[in-house]
Structure 1
Amino acid sequence: MTGPVGELGILPRVDSAALRDDLCSRVDGEVRFDAGTRGAYATDASNYRQVPIGIVLPRTVEAGAVAVEVCREHGAPVLSRGGGTSLGGQCTNVAVVIDWTKYCHHLLSVDAENRTCLVEPGIVLDELNRQLSGYGLEFGPRPSTHSHCAIGGMIGNNSCGATAQRTGKVVDNVGAMEVVTYDGLRSWVGPTDEPELSRLAAEDGRRGELYRGLCQLRDRYAGLIRQRYPDIPRRVSGYNLDALLSEQDFDVAKLLVGSEGTLATVLRAELKLVPRIEHKATLVLGYADIADAADHVADILAVASPLQLEAIDDRLVELMHRQRMHEESARQLPRGGGWLLAQYGGDSPEEARDRAREVLAALHKRPENDDVLLAEDPRLQEKIHAARESGLGVTAHPPGLPDNWPGWEDSAVPPDRLGDYLRDLRALFTEFELDHPSIYGHFGHGCVHTRIPFQLTTALGVRGFRRFVQRAADLVSEYGGSLSGEHGDGQARGELLVRMFGPELVGAFGELKNLFDPGNRMNPGKIVAPCRVDEHLRLGPDWRPRQEPTHFRYPDDGRSFVRAVGRCVGVGKCRQHSGGVMCPSYMATLEEEHSTRGRARLLFEMMRGHEDSPITDGWRSTAVRDALDLCLACKGCKKDCPVGVDMATYKAEFLAHHYHRRPRPAQHYSLGWMPLWAHLAGQVPRLANAALHTPLVSRVGKRVAGIAPQREIPRFAPRTFQRWWRQYRCPESAVPGDPRTVVLWPDTFTNHYHPHIARAAVRVLQAAGFRVVVPEQALCCGLTWISTGQLDMAAKMIRRTLRALRPWIRTDTLVVGLEPSCTAVFRADMEELMPDDEDVRRLRRRFVTLAEILTSHLPGPWSPPQVHREALIQTHCHQHAVLGFGPDVELMRQIGLDAEVLDSGCCGLAGNFGFEKDHYDVSMACAERALLPAVREAAPDTVLLADGFSCRTQIEHGSTRHARHLAEVLAGALG
């Protein structure tokens, strides 16, 4: 195996097996050279892809230093990686990747008086600030990836984010760092006064040699550095040679910030902190277009310094509407075609508001103007800024439009020249026939974000891409700007640095690299002796993936599974540690391959678009199977992923092919065929319960069925709901076409296990004026067959259901679902399996939840019963991801329920997942993260609401409490 060729030479061949063995024997950590792990780390959030040699997850920073030592002994390149969210390609390489995020993520100490803290490189920014909140402090720079980016990666990229308007870049917020070089020099570095510098340079040994070389480099290039380095807030490109100047205190820590792991490995960092600002107000100002908005940045900055000064354009808003994302925020925007978002802070809400009003007055505007929005509500402000942060995801794969890619995503110019730069940049788009890319970004610092519809799968398109970035680099240099204002150079801009800095300073970069890493082993091919901008593309003209027939039709992806799995752009939101539903297995394991992104990467590699793909056995791949095994199929990613990756569907597709004409795991038969077993048991429920809960029979049965021994098999109800319905005398007949008629869907879980919920729903629907009908034959949505990848059987079940419901479907009769997971099949999976079936489309439109029918489809006036109690709500994942929970919240408001909706994510049971023998620990880890502690702490008279069968089962398994369905609460309130 050889690395990139550059001025620093060809990397040697590495004996991977011997390297792996030494790492395993000497490093306290996890060492993985398997195909699956290598495939998961082959890309970051950029256009680039390089398969690593192997991955090391050190348990301590000392172990990480040992890993570097072992790699040096084998001549292996090293890539130190955080969250892997960069758009520049610096987090992908043919190297040993050291991932710090699983174990080395501790806040080591806090000095509140001096406003500093000491951290390990793997700690995530939001988690750090959560731990600092008790001190009233925070680490200031906050990229849009704040929920999952690691401090080590932020140091490597010199990250910024919107809050850099107030706090500056990471380089402005680092006090000192402990680093280790490739040749083993381990030292703390930071600002150095002249006496200390003289002492260090006089030392014998490696450290003295390094400091002497740095002094000589400074003396040789000081004049050129002062002349050629742009004096702008967002110069992130190139090495920070200016940190060696006397006016910068010869600060080697600042020198290493933004070096992208090409010079040294960061082990610990001392960070400077700032006080938290609790009270904020946001001004949203509308202008004719985005360039006009940019023209007014200097006017705003001249009045008062905002905490943030962001911008979005009309194209971004259009794409939000097209994808039904952040629509509420978009509707709040004032009149305009380009908007500036200026946020101000204060010690009180009034002080923040007054600062915003002061700016308005200086601009001769008033809050009531139609081109002005003054947002004081924290929730509204959060939504507006979240919409701006979503720019990358919203612009990546817009439906009906070409895909957009990074490549020129964060250039920066002087803020007072930003408007003219944008006009010239848009003219360049037009010249290259790049249709109207969205422009947004950190305009207070002159930093511009955009994703562009480059054609990266043809030779002609790649040549156009290369020519465009060369021209764009010349353009930004003419404006005195920086190629990168946030994401660094990596491979995306390394080759272009000479256009910005000139050959002399680029030569100085090479000298600096040679001082720290003379063998070119630290993240080679980035910044110095860089790979070409059009090399190692994730797509590229040689990309030839296999297009094979699939069960799901992927109607939103051109009916292409390849395009569906290619949705993942690597932004890494699925790696967040808390909040939302996505991705429960990553939150439990902190494993890349158990994140939505990692799984999408492996599926991408599985399609064999590149000859060097580590996944060589296609649908039969055990590596892909193992990565998908811990996917709970919660569908959280379908909603939470910025680009709408639907891993539950991809998993079902993979399992269908993987086990085609092969024996399946026992649980695919026991749990996947559960509707059939439930139907049979429903004929003799007492006998079935007795057999399944006899200790010896239960133990043997669970072992044979692949069920976790810790789980109690749910008991069948003595009488199914359908059997009760046949004996129930309905007071009024229900006929198709009558607007008062509603079909109540008898899903397997409710029908066989919790029929009291369906009976409660009948009572509530009838009280609301509906005439209820219930299908009397055994029907199923196919959910359990879908989740286990038995898609032919699932399709058969759906077709049977369609035949039975046809009289109701074709008269537009509403069908009410009580179990969220089954309802989601009718609202999503069914159409993805059969997008051309008109009955499928009709049923999807008319299949509603209980809350939806009671808030939006009442046949006449109805006053819902009043409850007036406190409630704790566990939202089912499919309610969150597919159905929407707004109607439930509205109905609970109407009945007077004081509801706290938990931000607990997936309960962890997730249908069959939590019952399977190898998943129990992960299942319970998901539940213990937030749900079960909240349940245990709830007051005894607090109503626990959980519409999902899985959620209720998990709550009862992990606590002494019993959760209820909304139908039960409503029926109980009827008296």
Structure 2
Amino acid sequence: MSAVDLPRPVLRRPQAAVDPRALERDLRDRVDGEVRFDAGSRALYATDASNYRQVPIGVVVPRTVGAAVEAVAVCRKHGAPLLSRGGGTSLAGQCCNTAVVIDWSKYCHRLLSVDGERRLCVVEPGIVLDDLNRRLAGYGLQYGPRPATHPNCTLGGMIGNNSCGATAQAYGKVVDNVRRLEVLTYDGLRMWVGETDPAEAARLAAEPGRTGEIFRGLLALRDRYEHQIRERYPDIPRRVSGYNLDSLLPEHHFDVAGLLVGSESTLVTVLRAELELVPVPAHLSLVMLGFPDIATAADHVPAIVGHDPHVLEGIDHQLVSFEQAEHLNPEALKLLPDGRAFLMVQFAGETVQEAHDRARALVDAVPDATGSVIYDDTDHERQLWRIRESGLGATAHVPHHPDTWEGWEDSAVPPDRVGDYLRGLKELMHRFGYGEPSVYGHFGQGCVHTRIPFDLESAEGVAAMRSFAEHAADLVVAYGGSLSGEHGDGQSRAELLGKMFGPELVEAFGQLKALFDPGDRMNPGKIVAPYRLDQNLRLGAGYDPWRPETAFAYPRDSGRFDQAALRCVGVGKCRSLEGGVMCPSYRATREEKHSTRGRARLLFEMVRNGSPIDRGWRSREVRDALDLCLACKGCKTDCPVNVDMATYKAEFLHHHHAGRPRPRAHYSMGWLPVWAALAGRAPRAANALATLPGLNRVIKFAGGIAAERELPPFAAERFVDWWRRRGPQGEGRRGEVVLWPDTFTDSFHPAIGRAAVEVLEDAGFRVKVPDQAVCCGLTWISTGQLGIARRALARTLDVLRDDLRRGTPVVGLEPSCTAVFRSDAAELWPDDPDVQRLRDQTRTLAELLTERAPDWRPPPVDAAAVVQRHCHQYAIMGFDADRTLLAAAGVEADVLDSGCCGLAGNFGFERGHYQVSQDVAELGLFPALRTADPGTLVLADGFSCRTQIDQAGLGPAPVHLAEVLAAGLRGAEPRAVRPAPPRSSGRAALAGLALAAAALAAHRLRRR
């Protein structure tokens, strides 16, 4: 094929309008999958992790690869643009477009084959990297490139972006680790591509039809532009910008798969991938080297690269200080050596000694480091990696600093020029008034990450952002670098590619695009004929969000709900499938709208003018997305930017149901403290009423409670009634503590309260229990009845005020109620000094004993235990004190890292939530209970966790920490003391009916 046969480059031009209704109808008729053209779904996919936003035409979630092929055919029939999306974490805008979005991640995540001997596997595009590597672990193999988003990024997205990550130091980019791709062109050609020898390339070029046309064009592109490719493509490890035309060169064996890697869904749809695998390193050692500043640290990179490290990363003092300010990774930060900048250097070895010796040799070779330390254990290494992998989130929303944005996020230069490049980049940032943003990244390969405090809400700020990007592009090109070293071009950098490659190669990119996608239907406006970098901004000069009045104060977001809704940066950690707590409903459904990110996106769209979500607090789309939020608060800790979806949900429900009837469950479980207090007057009658045949079903229906659930029986005697009879005892040499009588301990499991009194008194405390009816307001908060919650909390403050002002600790036994005092109350009243005292003086039982009675020794229990942390323990209070206390008592604790129990307060009891509740428990808790050794204790401080375990009938009845310690004091085996399931009788049932009538009358009176 001669040069004149090359197609003319694609030029973005107006396209014929697509009829979305007809398109949706045909997709539904022909595609085996979920077809979504509703406002909520379109809003969900309107943006990625970038500065850009484009509302899609619709979304298709195919169940099979074949269904995706059919979806492309329907789009072709209608001339609809198409965007193939992985995890949606792209930082350059390539995962949002006015197109039909194909989301592979829910269903198409199969590992199709593994060839252990040849170190190959075949996968579908929706498989998550960490999930793939878990499945490969039995072969001793892994996929080498490992981006920081490895818990949630998909292989399809990695292929689209040519991802790298820290391990690219050892294994290279994705383009270096793909053997073959099965691809589909927009016009319907489906084929496997990979390295192609000259004879095979000639044979394919001679074929008639589209296959021959494409291969003839590729050969012509290679021949015409070979000289320019060799001259203008920077010879650096991290050139990700532009198309991989260099893959067509003879030394790369005319690798068409390599050419298509990194093409960002602009050329083809990837259907399957054959990946090259590498052995899992036997042992790793991590060296942390300290330096006086980040540029000096970078100056040492060339010498360190000579030691052949497995990984070589850079971290500056700003990232460390930002994480300190946000209380991120506190234990890991203590492991850093002296210095204001750090290099993380990891070595692999066949033995621990070999890896350690290589690390020691490096330390000896860098005598001018301000500090150094070697870690050979995986626990410390994992902690330190969290510092680095938290970089994007930790630098986005820093207290008392302006928000930062991508825009010059991942430039790359030769590794021996990083120090000088950083000095030039920092000077440029100062010149534009952006201060000193954090810089960190993959220094061993010259890739620098940063987020910059661009003003994206004014015309002047946007213009400055554009000017900065143009100057920064000139700077990186002057150093022989690449605009993108990891995250691709998308819209952030595509307009600047001419600066890096020159006009001839930009023309070649257009010709390649025209060869595969002559109609410009594949992700148009990205890489080739791109939108301007200051176009389609998520904010922009016209951004004027709705700023509603709220019940919560949002002190971390300047008191503004619209700022809170903007907090999510789209990194997608909430879509991880293992570890931590976030996000249980996503793990159970693998559905974007049931992730923390999905809900945050809809809330952002709710407050954004000109959005598909246009009904404010009355939005059904937001309500439906929040319906499966378990309010576990896992995101408050696990999310790198601390999105607090439980609080946002409570706020939304408060307004959504204002002035109109609420769901039935809000009256039954939301008002549980009232019903429990009434039931406490005649618990036998209340239990009989709840178990009366026939009436039980009516009660559940009337209360919006799942039919599959059993109603927990009330205790025969409440804890507060026992306390009134018993009173305080002991000398209290350590002073007085207030033991909080939460509704769940008081009315359902009072034996826990009695056990706590026994333990506290043995430890030398004098126990006090409020002598008035009090409540933290938890159930009203979780159902969004915030006015009542505030009144309940105000009454509690009145009762506790004197104790709080004396500095008396308040001990919480139920984690969810304790979390209200430690978190929610201060969100409602951030400036009230008594609320601050309540927050600061509230302690868990374990915290109080370890902090205020450090010389008290818990009694020996000497048992093994499976421990289910309550989500609020994990997210708000922490569990370190519990670990310490259990270890001191001789309890061999297996603390599950399996997330939420699934019941989560009222969530698992509500009608319509039962199956999701069980699915969440099956992700970790239930399997752990089934496989536990006989005789193992089950420890769960949360009422919800205990109830979920009890009703599943798996293993022994779960016990609270207080019960374990109290049993040790008595020399007895820990066991749960729970209300016995009641046997109904006619007299008790009549009493129960009278009680129900009284409860209804009280409820009506309160509503008035």
TM-score (norm 2): 0.94
Tell me if structure 2 keeps the 8 A contact 1:395–1:404: yes
Q: What is the one-letter code of the residue matched to 1:256?
A: L
Of residues 626, 635, 658, the one that matches 2:633 is 635
Between stretches 256-265 and 772-781, larger displacement belongs to 772-781
- Residue equivalent to 1:664: 662
Q: What is the one-letter code of the residue matched to 1:135?
A: Y
CA distance in 1, matches of 2:640, 2:600: 14
- Residue equivalent to 1:646: 644
- Residue equivalent to 2:380: 380
- Residue equivalent to 2:990: none
- Residue equivalent to 1:848: 843
Q: Per the alignment, in what secondary structure is the counterpart of residue 918 of structure 1?
A: coil
How many angstroms does 1:377 deviate by? Answer: 1.7
Equivalenced residue count is: 961
Gaps of 5+ in 1: none
CA distance in 2, matches of 1:777, 1:689: 25
Between stretches 313-322 and 597-606, larger displacement belongs to 313-322
Q: What is the one-letter code of the residue matched to 1:607?
A: V
Of residues 344, 347, 350, the one that matches 2:347 is 344
CA distance in 2, matches of 1:113, 1:863: 55
- Residue equivalent to 2:968: 973
- Residue equivalent to 1:953: 947
CA distance in 2, matches of 1:853, 1:496: 59
Q: Per the alignment, in what secondary structure is the counterpart of residue 492 of structure 2?
A: helix
- Residue equivalent to 2:996: none
Q: Per the alignment, in what secondary structure is the counterpart of residue 491 of structure 1?
A: coil
Tell me if structure 1 keeps the 8 A contact 2:10–2:511: no
- Residue equivalent to 1:620: 618
Structure 2 vs 1, CA of residues 286 and 731 (structure 1 numbering), >3 Å: closer, same or farther? closer
Q: What is the one-letter code of the residue matched to 1:116?
A: L
Of residues 815, 823, 836, the one that matches 1:820 is 815
How many angstroms does 1:862 deviate by? Answer: 2.3
CA distance in 1, matches of 2:363, 2:828: 54
Deviation string 1:704-739 (CA, Å, 9 cap, x unpaired) is 1110011000000000000111111433588xxx95
- Residue equivalent to 2:458: 458
Of residues 271, 283, 290, the one that matches 1:286 is 290
How many angstroms does 1:364 deviate by? Answer: 4.4
Of residues 814, 827, 834, the one that matches 2:829 is 834
Structure 2 vs 1, CA of residues 514 and 705 (structure 1 numbering), >3 Å: closer, same or farther? same
Of residues 733, 753, 757, the one that matches 2:752 is 757
Gaps of 5+ in 2: 1-8, 971-1008
Q: Per the alignment, in what secondary structure is the counterpart of residue 492 of structure 1?
A: coil
* Structure 1 segment 765-804 matched on structure 2, within 5 A: 765-804=760-799
Structure 2 vs 1, CA of residues 861 and 446 (structure 1 numbering), >3 Å: closer, same or farther? closer
Of residues 35, 44, 50, the one that matches 1:46 is 50
Tell me if structure 1 keeps the 8 A contact 2:10–2:510: no
CA distance in 1, matches of 2:838, 2:445: 51
CA distance in 2, matches of 1:813, 1:686: 36
Between stretches 157-166 and 244-253, larger displacement belongs to 244-253
How many angstroms does 1:329 deviate by? Answer: 1.8
1:205 matched to 2:205: no
Q: Per the alignment, in what secondary structure is the counterpart of residue 593 of structure 1?
A: helix
* Structure 1 segment 293-442 matched on structure 2, within 5 A: 293-302=297-306, 304-364=307-367, 371-442=371-442
Deviation string 1:621-659 (CA, Å, 9 cap, x unpaired) is 000000000000000000000000000000000001100
Tell me if structure 1 keeps the 8 A contact 2:10–2:518: no
Q: Per the alignment, in what secondary structure is the counterpart of residue 784 of structure 1?
A: helix
Q: What is the one-letter code of the residue matched to 1:687?
A: A
How many angstroms does 1:940 deviate by? Answer: 2.1
- Residue equivalent to 1:938: 932
Q: What is the one-letter code of the residue matched to 1:827?
A: R
Q: What is the one-letter code of the residue matched to 2:511?
A: E
Deviation string 1:895-945 (CA, Å, 9 cap, x unpaired) is 111111001100000000000011001000000111011112112211110
Tell me if structure 2 keeps the 8 A contact 1:414–1:479: yes
Tell me if structure 2 keeps the 8 A contact 1:581–1:905: yes
CA distance in 1, matches of 2:406, 2:264: 18
- Residue equivalent to 1:173: 177
- Residue equivalent to 1:910: 904
Tell me if structure 2 keeps the 8 A contact 1:936–1:959: no
Q: Per the alignment, in what secondary structure is the counterpart of residue 373 of structure 1?
A: strand
CA distance in 2, matches of 1:715, 1:541: 58
Tell me if structure 2 keeps the 8 A contact 1:37–1:55: yes
How many angstroms does 1:861 deviate by? Answer: 4.2
Of residues 246, 253, 269, the one that matches 1:249 is 253
Tell me if structure 2 keeps the 8 A contact 1:932–1:959: no
- Residue equivalent to 1:808: 803
- Residue equivalent to 2:859: 865
CA distance in 2, matches of 1:945, 1:133: 31
CA distance in 1, matches of 2:909, 2:382: 38
Deviation string 1:296-338 (CA, Å, 9 cap, x unpaired) is 1001112x21110001001111111111111222222112121
Tell me if structure 2 keeps the 8 A contact 1:635–1:877: yes
Q: What is the one-letter code of the residue matched to 1:325?
A: L
Between stretches 211-220 and 708-717, larger displacement belongs to 211-220
- Residue equivalent to 1:607: 607
CA distance in 2, matches of 1:648, 1:53: 30
Deviation string 1:464-495 (CA, Å, 9 cap, x unpaired) is 00000000001000111000000000011010
Structure 2 vs 1, CA of residues 739 and 6 (structure 1 numbering), >3 Å: closer, same or farther? farther
Q: Per the alignment, in what secondary structure is the counterpart of residue 695 of structure 1?
A: coil
1:474 matched to 2:474: yes
How many angstroms does 1:806 deviate by? Answer: 1.3
How many angstroms does 1:280 deviate by? Answer: 0.5
Of residues 875, 880, 897, the one that matches 2:891 is 897
Structure 2 vs 1, CA of residues 729 and 841 (structure 1 numbering), >3 Å: closer, same or farther? closer
CA distance in 1, matches of 2:74, 2:555: 49
- Residue equivalent to 1:222: 226
How many angstroms does 1:123 deviate by? Answer: 0.1
How many angstroms does 1:348 deviate by? Answer: 1.1
TM-score (norm 1): 0.98
Between stretches 790-799 and 805-814, larger displacement belongs to 805-814
Q: What is the one-letter code of the residue matched to 1:792?
A: G
* Structure 1 segment 535-684 matched on structure 2, within 5 A: 535-609=535-609, 611=610, 613-684=611-682
1:710 matched to 2:713: no
How many angstroms does 1:695 deviate by? Answer: 2.2
Tell me if structure 2 keeps the 8 A contact 1:8–1:519: no
Of residues 77, 85, 92, the one that matches 1:88 is 92
Of residues 49, 70, 77, the one that matches 1:66 is 70
CA distance in 2, matches of 1:6, 1:637: 43
CA distance in 2, matches of 1:7, 1:232: 30
Q: What is the one-letter code of the residue matched to 2:803?
A: W
- Residue equivalent to 2:875: 881
Tell me if structure 2 keeps the 8 A contact 1:191–1:251: yes
How many angstroms does 1:210 deviate by? Answer: 0.9
Tell me if structure 1 keeps the 8 A contact 2:45–2:56: yes
Between stretches 580-589 and 214-223, larger displacement belongs to 214-223
Deviation string 1:799-841 (CA, Å, 9 cap, x unpaired) is 0111111121111101100000000000000010111211111
- Residue equivalent to 2:994: none
CA distance in 2, matches of 1:793, 1:407: 45
CA distance in 2, matches of 1:102, 1:627: 16
Tell me if structure 1 keeps the 8 A contact 2:290–2:371: yes
Q: What is the one-letter code of the residue matched to 1:328?
A: E
How many angstroms does 1:363 deviate by? Answer: 3.3
CA distance in 2, matches of 1:223, 1:726: 91
How many angstroms does 1:360 deviate by? Answer: 2.5
Q: What is the one-letter code of the residue matched to 1:535?
A: Q
CA distance in 2, matches of 1:113, 1:939: 37
